[in-house]
Homo-oligomer: A and B are copies of this chain.
């Protein structure tokens, strides 16, 4: 027995004054209305309505239960309206994650502009240089740099980022600019564990994969710290281009081995589902994808 339907039926019977009228209003057959009421009374072990063929009258218990039913049905309708209202205009909390440096450079500003447009949305931005578990950590949207390993997520591609090897110009003046990736095995190589936690760096030569074992004494999980260490040190480093862009412009780092660059890394806006996503997730994903695509167009005219 559908108790909710039975409650609605009971309320309609009383309001309309007959089972026949209630059946019409509910667009159901009279027998089903009769059964609904009888089932509810059985479930409650209580007679709610005294009735003859032409009259109905609430029992005392029925009167009290009726008011409770009205309250409950109103609450249910309100709960559903609340969800519907949330769907029309983006509102509520969004939890967004992005890699630290990329987030600071591009995502934060875009979020600020987004929030100016959509005043009823709040965004919590988590800048992390590790792979997050979106479901477990309650993340709505992630800016993901790298291949997407999670098949249950949906990725909206927005661009690609070059992987570059850099060194301090003074070092290069001293050692000479390496002409092939294999030469790196003879140099101190700093490792940013967020991108390349292992000791094998990958390159491409004329379309073919090329791997080089590297070694070095400095490893860090923080991009900025690693890029600055590279700019101040005697070593080489493998970074994403946006991570070193400011230091390159300042002349503190120089990109080398450009003819052997590995495949660029895709950048995506990632979210758990397409189905039944909330309005603010959908609106935010569309907005951020558009903003980031413009960022990449600006970076590569």
**In this assembly, does A152 line the interface, its C-beta being within 8 Å of a C-beta of chain B?**
yes
Interface pair A72/B76, CB less than 8 Å apart: yes
**What is the bound-complex CA distance between A65 and B3, given in angstroms?**
20
Interface pair A60/B4, CB less than 8 Å apart: no
Residues of chain B with a CB closer than 8 A to A50's CB: 134-135, 272-273
Known: A44-B83, A47-B278. 16 other contacts (CB 8 A): A2-B4, A3-B76, A45-B83, A46-B86, A46-B278, A50-B273, A52-B135, A55-B135, A55-B136, A56-B135, A57-B135, A57-B138, A65-B79, A68-B79, A71-B75, A72-B76
- Binary interface encoding of chain A residues 1-17 relative to chain B, with 1 for a CB under 8 A from any of its CBs, else 0: 01110000000000000
Residues of chain B with a CB closer than 8 A to A68's CB: 75, 78-79, 82
Residues of chain B with a CB closer than 8 A to A276's CB: 41-42, 45-47
**In this assembly, does A277 line the interface, its C-beta being within 8 Å of a C-beta of chain B?**
yes
Interface of A toward B, CB cutoff 8 Å? 2-4, 41-42, 44-47, 50-52, 55-57, 59-61, 64-65, 68-69, 71-72, 75-76, 78-80, 82-84, 86-87, 92-93, 133-136, 138, 152, 272-273, 275-278
Looking at chain A's contact residues, the main secondary structure is helix
CB distance from A61 to the nearest CB of B (A): 6
CB distance from A1 to the nearest CB of B (A): 9
Q: What are 23 of the A-B contact pairs (CB < 8 Å)?
A: A2-B3, A2-B4, A4-B4, A41-B276, A44-B80, A45-B83, A45-B84, A45-B87, A46-B86, A46-B278, A47-B277, A50-B134, A50-B135, A51-B135, A52-B135, A55-B135, A64-B82, A65-B79, A65-B83, A68-B75, A68-B78, A71-B75, A72-B75
Copies assembled:
2
A44-B83, A46-B83 known; A60 and B135 CB under 8 Å?
no
CB distance from A147 to the nearest CB of B (A): 18
**What is the bound-complex CA distance between A133 and B79, given in angstroms?**
42
Q: Which of A50, A68, A273 has the most CB of B within 10 A?
A: A50
